[in-house]
A and B are shown apart, each in its own frame.
Chain A
Amino acid sequence: MSGPALLSVEGVAVDLPTARGNLRAVDGVDLTVGAGRTLGIVGESGCGKTMLSRAILQLLPKKAKLIGRVLFDGQDLVRCSPEALRKLRARSLAVVFQDPMTSLNPVLTIGTQLIETLREHLELDALQAKKRSVELLAAVGIPAPEQRLTQYPHQLSGGMRQRVAIAIALSCEPKLLIADEPTTALDVTIQAQILDLLAREQRRRHMAMILITHDLGVVAGRTDEVAVMYAGRVVERAPTHALFKNMRMPYTEALLSAIPKLDAAPHTPLPAISGRPPDPTRPIKGCSFSPRCRYAAGPCHRDKPQLTGAETPDHQYACFHPILIAAGVTA
C-alpha cells in the first residue's frame, strides 16, 4: 500500500428488504484503495460485488439499508448531503458498467452524450467540448472519432460501445473509476483490448480503479491487490502476486481450479465447485463456505472466521483451515 488511502470502506453492510425476508447482500466489508492503485474484486454471481460498488457510489436501491463508513478523500460519503455527494461524484468518481447496451442512452448520439457531460463538468464551451470529445474518443481507440460523434449507440459494435462508455466515464477526470464487470458482455479478444485500455488510461491519469469481475484470470495481470468475495464477505485479500503464489482460502483455490486450462487433455471435466452459494436471506452458522468446502471440519460449522493477516499483514484471509502448501500458480 503506497501513500494514504484514497478510498477506505469500513465495516460496510447492505441490507435489502425482500419478500422472503431481509437479504444481507454485503456483510461487514473492509477495503482500502490507494491513489493510482488497482483493486480487483472477484467472486461468483450474487456474492455482493455489484452491491458493494453501488454502496461505494451511494447509488443503492432506495429501499436498501447501508451500515458502515465509506471514506473517500477524507469525506464520509454515507453522511454527505445529496448536493455535496453529487458534486463529489461529478468531480472524482466514475463507473463503467457490464453491458454497454444499457449504459448508453439509446436515443442520443455519442456526441451529445459526451459533449454534454464535458460541458457540465469542465464548463467548456461547445467548440472546446467537441474538440475534447474527439480527443477522448481517439484516446479510447475509436477510429474516425469525428464521424462517431453523430452516430447512435445502436450503430456501434459492443466493443465500440464499451469504449464510448469508458470515454464518458473518463471525461470528468475521475480520481476513482469503478469498472463493474466491464468485459463480461464482450467476446474474448475484445475483453483483452478493453482491459488493456483501462489499464493504460489508469496509468496515464494516475487514477485509482476498482475492477470487479468473476474471472480470476482478468485480475491476474492487471491489479495491485485482489479481494475475493463470497456470500457478501471478503474471504481473502492480498497483493495480487502473493494471492496467486500462496492462496490460503479454499474458495480462492476452488475458483482458480475452475478456470479451463489450455494444456489439459480434451474432454477433461472441469473441477466445478459443488453445491450453490448460501441463501443470503437465511444466514448460516459458521463459515458460509463450509457446506461446499472440502477442508471444512470442527469450528468451520460453528464460528464465523474473521479476516486476519497471518504471515504478512497484507495477506488476509478468513479461514480456520487455510491451505498451507504453496499452490505454485504464477500470476
Chain B
Amino acid sequence: MATLELIVSEEVVAGPLVRSRRLGLLFWMAIGWMLFVFAVAILAPVLPLPSPTDMDMLERRAPVSALHWLGTDGLGRDELARLIYGARISLTVGLFAPVIGLAIGGALGILAGYFRGRFETLVVGSMDVLLAFPPLILALAVTAYLGQSILNLTCILGVLGIPAFMRVARAATLTLARREFVIAAQALGATHARILVRELLPNVMLPLLAFFLLGVAVTIVVEGALSFLGLGVPPPISSWGSMIGEGRESLEIAPQLAFIPAMALFLTVLSFNLVGDTLKALTDPRQSAL
C-alpha cells in the first residue's frame, strides 16, 4: 500500500515531465504520416499526377517506371494516382462519418447523462436497438434503395457510430454531473444550458476526442471492407478498399496491386490509433489526479 501511494504521488508531481516523455518518437512519426497523407490527398488536383481513371490497355499491370511511379493496375490506370485519389475518399468518409457520430451521439449522451429519467431510458434503449441491427444489412439496404455514393456511405457509417459515442459521452457525464462543481454552478444560478455547454461539455470533450480518433481508424477499415465487398464508392472512383478488392483478381501476377493500398490503409489506421491512444492516456491520469 505504501509503495503504491508513493508511485501515485510521484506521477502526479512529475506530470508535465512524464507527458512530454510519453509522447515519444512513435507518436510524432504517426503525426508525420497523418500530415503527409492529408497534404497529398488535399493537394492531389495540383500534383503532377496522371489521371486516376484514364486507362492504358497497352500498359496493364506495368511495373514501376518513370511514368508510373507505382506501376499501373489491371486496367492500365496509374496506381499512385489511384492511391492518392483513393486517400481522398477514404479520409473524407473516415473523418466525416465519425463527426456525425460525435455530434449526434455526443449530444444525446450528455443530455441523457445529465437529465437522466425517461429521456435516458429512451436514448439508451434506442441505441441498443441500433447496436443490435446488423451493420452490413443496413449498408446493403441503404445502398440498394438510395444508391452508392460517398454521401450515403458516410451517413451509414456515421449512424452506425452514434451508439458508441453516446455511451462514451453518457458514461463521462454520469460521473461528472455528480461532482460538486455542477452543484456549485446550480447554486450560482446557472441554467441547464449553461451547465451543459460550459461546465460539462469541456470535460466530456476530452474522452470524446480521443475516442473520435479511434473512430476514424475504425471507419477507414470499415469503409475499406464495404468497398472490398462492392458496397462502397461506385467505380471508377477509387478508394483504398476498392483498390484492394480489384487487386485481389490479379494477386498471383501482380500482388503489389493489393498490397500497396493495404499498406497505406494499415499505416494510416495505425497512426490514428497511436495518436488516439496517446491522447486517451494523456487525458485519463489527469482526470483521476483531480
A residues sitting closer than 8 Å to B (CB atoms) are 57, 59, 62, 86-91, 93-95, 97-99, 101-108, 116-117, 120-121, 153-154, 165, 168-169, 172, 178
Partner of A105, one of B187, B188, B189, B202: B202
Given known contacts A59-B187, A107-B206, A116-B198, A102 and B179 CB-to-CB distance under 8 angstroms: yes
Establish whether residues A120 and B186, one from each chain, have CB atoms under 8 Å apart when the complex forms.
no
Select from chain B the residue with minimum beta-carbon distance to A153: B290
- How far is B181's CA from A98's CA once the two chains are assembled, in angstroms? 11
Query: A257 → chain B, closest Cβ, in Å?
Result: 33
Checking B188, B191, B202, B286 against A94 with a beta-carbon cut-off of 8 angstroms, the contacting residue is: B188
Residues of A within 8 A of B194 (CB): 120
Is B14 engaged at the interface, CB distance under 8 Å to the other chain? no
Choose from B117, B189, B198 the contact partner of A89 (Cβ within 8 Å): B189
Contact in complex: A108, B202 (CB < 8 Å): yes
Contact partner, A57, options B187, B198, B203, B286, Cβ 8 Å:
B187
Residues of chain A lying within 8 A (CB to CB) of residue B179: 102-103
Q: Are A106 and B184 in contact, with the CB atoms below 8 A?
A: no
Please tell me if B190 contacts chain A, counting CB pairs below 8 Å: yes
A117 to B195, CA, bound (A): 12
Q: Is the CB of B287 within 8 A of A106?
A: yes
Which residues in chain B, 250-290, are within 8 Å of chain A measured between CB atoms? 286-287, 289-290
154-210 of chain B: CB within 8 A of chain A: 179-181, 183-184, 186-191, 194, 198-199, 202-203, 206
Cβ contact within 8 Å between A102 and B181: yes
A154 engages B184 (CB within 8 Å): no
CB distance from B116 to the nearest CB of A (A): 7
Q: Are the C-beta atoms of B189 and A59 separated by less than 8 Å?
A: no
CB nearest neighbor in B for A83: B191
If the complex has contacts A102-B179, A154-B286, are A87 and B184 also in contact, measured as CB distance less than 8 A? no
The reply to whether B180 and A154 contact each other, CB–CB distance below 8 Å, is no
Name, among B179, B191, B194, B206, the residue most crowded by chain A CB atoms within 10 Å (CB to CB). B179
- Chain B residues with Cβ below 8 Å from A90 are 188-190
Complex CA–CA separation, A116 to B181 (angstroms)? 14
A121 touches B189 (CB 8 A): yes
The 10 closest A-B pairs by CB, nearest first: A90-B189, A89-B189, A103-B180, A106-B290, A95-B187, A102-B180, A97-B180, A107-B202, A105-B181, A102-B179
A105 touches B183 (CB 8 A): no
User: Is there contact, CB below 8 Å, between A99 and B198?
Assistant: no
Closest chain-B Cβ to A52's Cβ sits at a distance in Å of 14
With a cutoff of 8 Å between Cβ atoms, the chain B residues found around residue A86 in the complex are 189-191
Contacts A107-B202, A108-B202, A154-B289; is A89 near B180 (CB within 8 Å)? Answer: no
| Neighbouring B residues of A98 by C-beta, 8 Å | 180
With A107-B203, A154-B289 in contact, is A59–B183 under 8 Å at CB? yes
A103 in complex: contacting residue of B116, B184, B286, B287, CB < 8 Å:
B184
Q: Is the CB of A117 within 8 A of B188?
A: yes
Minimum CB distance partner of B204 in chain A: A107
Complexed CA–CA distance, A206 and B179 (Å): 30
The reply to whether B184 and A165 contact each other, CB–CB distance below 8 Å, is yes
Return 25 A-B CB contacts under 8 Å, by A number: A59-B186, A62-B117, A87-B189, A89-B186, A91-B189, A93-B187, A94-B187, A95-B183, A97-B180, A99-B180, A102-B179, A102-B180, A102-B181, A103-B184, A106-B181, A107-B202, A107-B203, A117-B188, A120-B194, A121-B189, A153-B290, A154-B286, A154-B289, A169-B188, A172-B189
Q: How far is the CB of B30 from chain A (nearest CB, A)?
A: 25
- Given A89-B189, A90-B188, A108-B202, 5 further pairs, Cβ under 8 A: A62-B116, A86-B191, A95-B183, A106-B290, A107-B203
| Interfacial chain A residues near B183, Cβ < 8 Å | 59, 95, 97
Cβ–Cβ < 8 Å partners of A169 in chain B: 184, 188
Chain B residue nearest in CB terms to A104: B181
Query: How many whole Å from A136's CB to the nearest CB in chain B?
Result: 14
